[in-house]
Structure 1
């Protein structure tokens, strides 16, 4: 199973008030922690970042197998994912897609999920957790899960028609649900209050 990770760190971090990728926990940035965890599952990591400078500030020198993809459009997570896909030179089996601000990622759990990929229906384009939103609807958690390489064909069509929402795209796709996901695993740092809870 050939897996490559894409980590999105090109967001504006407007609610946080500062770059989330550069926030530190125990002396390591959130982006660096996420890359290190992703490498427990994937063969290499592509980081979608706003600038080369951001990437260099956020990644510790000892991390290898990383590539930088500059997010020139700054048009949301779905476009960032698309840019990451376009940067991968050769076909792979699955893409592990992660947001950079998931401080409670568990490498052993990602490895367990990865072992389930071979058992999924060939028609499933993604393997994702779900959560209940404020309107009591179950939504996909698109930035902490796996996408089949072939997902890019429907994604290209969706984006070319003006689509920018992960939820709207996934609504019309076959997605396998990752069950029994610890809620803390999906906690992300959007605000200073969120980051204070983690620290």
Structure 2
């Protein structure tokens, strides 16, 4: 480990859950979907709290996730420290997940975190091991460390420097809407994770049914 390489164990890591999507293919709010007796958002938050502080849930005030906040928080109490969960509602609307990423990274920087683990709300098999493996991929020059499986990159399963928020904001202002656009613009390191199931997300009802069947 060189002098410029951060010590993974000493890095303060915030968590960012991008929960403001419209869930068109699912037909209902993915954040509130039941997964093993709790809302999917609650499971993701609970896992992130094992490694991240604070955990920032990014969802606009008009989003289904935010409008269902009372129900979600009421059911999510077991295993979750509510004092370490914050809602970020000022994401730019109409620009896709990049708007949530910018808002979340800016809020994480304001909270004093140099890095933030970023994920989506629809990843029910996520585990602390994913965060650990990505954290070990950080170097002094790295702006983003993202997961990769045999098929593709997963920019919504990665660790980002919080000071990259202005860079990504400039991309959005220039018309970029792809999460891949962010990692193409940043100094990005890709990590092949040991458990691909951590990266599974659910976009449609059939995805959820299939995943439930496999997990039994």
Give the TM-score of the pair, scaled to structure 2.
Answer: 0.80
Partner of 2:100: 80
Q: How far off its partner does 1:124 sit?
A: 1.3
Which runs of structure 1 show a deviation greater than 6 angstroms over 4 or more consecutive aligned residues? none
Q: How far off its partner does 1:4 sit?
A: 0.6
Partner of 1:23: 33
Counterparts of 1:148 and 1:72 in 2: how far apart (Å)?
A: 20
1:138-196: per-residue Cα shift (whole Å, max 9, x none)?
A: x4211111001222232122122222211123223221111234221111010100110
Q: Is the 8 A contact 1:3 1:96 kept in 2?
A: yes
Partner of 2:145: 127
Q: How far off its partner does 1:111 sit?
A: 2.8
Is 1:108 the counterpart of 2:129 in the alignment? yes
1:115-134: per-residue Cα shift (whole Å, max 9, x none)?
A: x15xx33221101012455x
Q: Is the 8 A contact 1:189 1:195 kept in 2?
A: yes
Partner of 1:136: none
Partner of 2:6: none
Of the candidates 118, 138, 148, which is equivalent to residue 97 of structure 1? 118
Counterparts of 1:124 and 1:72 in 2: how far apart (Å)?
A: 26
Partner of 1:66: 85
Aligned residues: 191
Other structure's SS at 2:21 match? coil
Distance 1:141 1:109, change over 3 A: closer
Of the candidates 190, 193, 197, which is equivalent to residue 206 of structure 2? 193
Counterparts of 2:107 and 2:139 in 1: how far apart (Å)?
A: 27
Q: Is the 8 A contact 1:9 1:48 kept in 2?
A: yes
1:30-84: per-residue Cα shift (whole Å, max 9, x none)?
A: 0000000001110111101243432222232352210111246143111111122
Q: Which runs of 5+ in 1 are unaligned?
A: 134-138
Query: Larger deviation: 17-26 or 144-153?
Result: 144-153
Q: Which runs of 5+ in 2 are unaligned?
A: 1-10
